[in-house]
Structure 1
Amino acid sequence: MNTVKHLNDSNSQPSRKKPYRFWTNPSIAAVFLATLLATYLDLLLVGKDIYKFPMRPIPNIFSINIGFTLVVLPVLIFVFLRVMDQLNKWGKAGLILFISLLMPIFERLAEVMGWFEHAENWEHLYSFFGYLLFLSFIYSFYSWMAKRKG
C-alpha cells in the first residue's frame, strides 16, 4: 500500500479531499430547483382547479403527473441547460422564447390526448408567459451557480 506523505520542508498545507455535494454542481442544482418549482406550481394550480391531469401515475395518491414532473421535466431541463451553454446571448433569448411559444401548442396536444385539462377560462397565453418566466429563472439560477462555483 502506497501512502502519500506531506513534505516537512514544504510550505503548502496537505490538501483535504472535499466531499462531493450535488448542490454545488450548477446543472444538478438547477434541475433540482426546476423540479421543485414545477411540483409546487402543479400542486398549487391543481389545488385551485385551474388545471388537472386526468391520466397520471398513481392517481389515488398524486393529483399531479409525477411522471412528467420527476422524470420528463428534469431530463428536458438538463438538455435545455446543455444547449443554452452552446449559444450566445441572443441565441439564449431566442431559445427561451421559442420553447415558451411551443409550450401552449404542446399543452393543447396534451389536452387532445386526454393527458391535461384546463379550466374553462384558461388562456394558453398564460402558459407562454409562465414558461418564459420559468425558463428564464432556471437559466439565471444556473448561470449564477456556475459563476459562483468557478
Structure 2
Amino acid sequence: MNIVKHLRESNYQSSRKKQYYRRNQRINAYLSTIIFAALIGTYLDLLLVGAGLYSFPKRPFSEVFTINILFTLCILPLLSLIIIFVLTRLHKLLRYLFLFICSLFVYIVEQTAEQYGLFIHSTYWKHEFSLFGYFLFLIFIWKFYSWLDN
C-alpha cells in the first residue's frame, strides 16, 4: 500500500507565488491601462479642442483648462476599467460587438450632452467621427491591456 505524503520540496508554494504574481500583473495591467486611457483622452481632447472642432462650455476649472478634466481624468478611466473588465469575460467575437455597442452608446450620449449644452461642436463635426473614433480608441485600449496582461 502506497501512502502519499506532502513533501517540503513540492511546488505547492511555487504555485501560490505564481497566482500572486499573476494577480499583481493583472492589477498593474488594469491600472496602467486606465492611466493610458486618461492620457490619450486628455491629449485627444486638447488636440481637437485646440483645432476648434468642439468645446466644453460647462466644465470644472474653466479658467484653467480648455477641456473637461472631469471627463478625461475620472469618467473616461472609470468607463475604460469597466469595459476592460467586461471584455476579459467575453468571447473574442463578442468583444468587438460589445466595443461597437459601447461606441454607439457614446455616439448617442454625445448628441444628448450637446442638447444640454455640455458640448459645442463646429459645423464641420460629424457625430459619426465619435462613433468610429471611440470604437478605435476602445480597441486600442483593449489591445494595450491585452499586451500588458500577457
How far is the alpha carbon of 1:104 from its aligned partner?
1.4
Whole-Å separation in 1 of the counterparts to 2:26 and 2:123: 40
How far is the alpha carbon of 1:72 from its aligned partner?
0.9
Contact kept, 8 Å, 1:23 with 1:29, in 2: the verdict is no
Give 1:47's aligned residue: 50
1:129 and 2:104 are equivalent in the alignment: no
Give 1:119's aligned residue: 122
Alpha-carbon RMSD across the aligned residues, in angstroms, is 1.9
The Cα offsets for residues 96-141 of structure 1, whole Å up to 9 and x where unpaired, read as 1111112111110010111111101211111111011100000000
Q: Number of paired residues?
A: 128
Whole-Å separation in 1 of the counterparts to 2:26 and 2:34: 10
Whole-Å separation in 2 of the counterparts to 1:87 and 1:24: 19
Whole-Å separation in 1 of the counterparts to 2:26 and 2:125: 36
Structure having the larger proportion of residues in helix: 2
Give 2:146's aligned residue: 143
Whole-Å separation in 1 of the counterparts to 2:111 and 2:33: 27
Contact kept, 8 Å, 2:60 with 2:69, in 1: the verdict is yes
**Runs (5+) with no aligned partner, structure 1:** 1-20
How far is the alpha carbon of 1:24 from its aligned partner?
7.6
Q: Normalised by the size of structure 1, how large is the TM-score?
A: 0.81
Which of 80, 89, 92 is residue 89 of structure 1 equivalent to? 92
Whole-Å separation in 2 of the counterparts to 1:22 and 1:108: 38
Which of 35, 38, 45 is residue 35 of structure 1 equivalent to? 38
1:99 and 2:111 are equivalent in the alignment: no
